[in-house]
Structure 1
Amino acid sequence: MKNNIMEQKVGVGIIGSQFISSIHVESLKQVPEAVIVAVMSPTPGNAKQFAETHNIPKYFTQLEDMLALEEVHMVVVGAPNYLHCDITLKAAKAGKHIVVEKPLCLNMAEADQMIAACKEAEVKLMYAEELCFTPKYVRLKGLLDSGSLGDPIIFKQSEKHDGPHSDHFWDVERSGGGVTMDMGCHAIQFFRWLNANNPVVSVYAHMSTTVHRHRTKGDDNAILILEFENGVTAIAEESWTKLGGMDDRAEIHGSEGVAYADVLQGNSIQTYSNKGIGYAVEKAGNTIGWSFVMYEELWNYGFPQEMAHFVDCVRYDKQPLVTGEDGKMVLQIIQAAYESAGTGKKIKLPFNTTIDRPYKLWKPQN
């Protein structure tokens, strides 16, 4: 899309009708410069029901039909991982700007195709990493950038709950891997953003499948250690086995100070429920029992701010904070992590492989 649309709202098409697409819609409703035009889902009845629930005027079961709408300027891809590449190629060809949920895709070949197609079509490829917009984490980065913490030494980030909400996450052929693909990608981009995209030079990882062996061949627990060129060490802890709802926190240790940020605790309502909590992000884990209920939950996670930024990039032809190239680099680091977990060795970057699914580097196929 080469024309400037500064004088009009950005028309958005939603691709997907499940958990993450609901978050996208609720977030976009808080962006005055955007208007949700249509939703598309191939599953019969899903798009219609989603459109009725969210008051979206048009719905489709065929992607090409939605992409044919001139009033759609940007699409937001909330489909399973294995569909990201094909959807992006078709959307780019149709001249639509594209927001892709994490992870960007399944492998480096797909990432290269997606980036090349968007460059050729002169559309923006934006990578949806909400941790770069999460208010507590934005403040954490501000403390680091101001010099209040001195030189960065160690970063830590953990995200834990009791497992994915949709079946495709459990299927490694559709998802590409386990918790590292699902949530480790958050930590990796978060670390790169904190560290001004300083290059990652090595990755060491340990992964296991401890609780969900009956549901997945993927990892349900992972610890990743990233070394940056400037000497910073970053440690990610990711789990699908933590009971009691979502846990999301980060730390920065510097030469002159330390800072801790917990997304859910400190501005939440500690709650016990026998039925479970129906809040959007809390659906990522089972909330029966104790959990932390957020006010302005989506805002606290940064989703509306993320969508407002991407809409602004489309309106005013700005460079996105998180791009397709960032998504590709995250994927390369994820692949290196699976290779490290499979070999027990530290993996130097850049790491090149032609494997089609990252989990195969950890559990080679017979």
Structure 2
Amino acid sequence: MVTGTIGFAAARDENARAAGLIKLKEYDHTLQETITGIAKTEGREKITNIGDLREFIFVNLDEMDTSLTTSIQVAEQYHKRAEAMQADHDALLKVLVPWIKAAKEQFIGSTKALFEQEHEISVLRGKVLRSSILNISFLQSLLEMQMAADFLNSLYGQVKTTRDRTLLDVLRKNFLSIQDRLLRSYELLPSVPERESLHQALERFLAHGRDADGLFVLQDDALFHLQTQDDLLFNNKMLAEDMVREAQGMVEEARVTITEQIATTLAEVEWNQILLAIMACGGAIGVLLVAFLYGDRRLARRMRLLAASTSSIAQGSLDTAIDASGHDEITDIAQALVVFRDNARAHETLRAEQRDREL
């Protein structure tokens, strides 16, 4: 959960974060299984803290889900607005560039006409100067508008890549400055038919920066939701780490409890083993004595074999074979010895498992 949360926080793209959120929710299945298992073994009161932490985490995840949905919608709106802005920039240039070209041609043509009409240098100089002032001022206003429009188009492009709201405010101030330059240059243009079409194109282009649903507002919304997600992710990371510590504490507590239970069980098994050995050996010796005193040789031989098996098992040889065939009392003793040998094997297996866990 902690690793998934960190990966989620590292994703800066809205779609990547949406995929990360789905992955985080998948971790909950494993988490719920763990909590259920702990509840069965340790009791419901043991999982109260973990359950509460999980609830807090998924409350935050639901809030992030809502924020992500809004972020994706804002990103889609921004994409559409950016496409419209680029189209309006191209439309502005389609009006402006031919006008600039015509102004250049007019300036060159009027200058040539003056040179052709007037041959007196002093008079020609004055006419050219007056004509140049008017034409150059007009051409300069058009060129200033083209340059400012290109600057503004570049500034619009920077808005999308901005990940800092302070920097976004700086770009907004730059937009207002460029907007003023464009409008001042427009006001200097003469009242000609092209002026109205240029005004309409200019207003559409500027609207992408100053509208209530313009690029700056949309990007500011996106940054707000991004910051909200970062804050929620930080809280979730802390909650996930607390949950891990709770789980580790419970596991350690359970391990200590199990170790103590195993030690107690082993002590009881060892004492029972001693009692069984005493009983088995005593019974075997007693029966052997009776056999020697009252039995025949075949019975005595079986009793000697049984006594040898008992002695071998008591010395730790748990693979000793025991003849438990027959239907008399010696067979019953042999079967009891088989049970004792098997119990001793189980005891040794339990001790080996405990040593492995301690390693």
Structure whose CA Rg is larger: 2
Q: What TM-score, normalized by structure 1, do the two folds share?
A: 0.18
- Determine which structure has the larger strand proportion and give its number: 1
Q: What TM-score, normalized by structure 2, do the two folds share?
A: 0.18
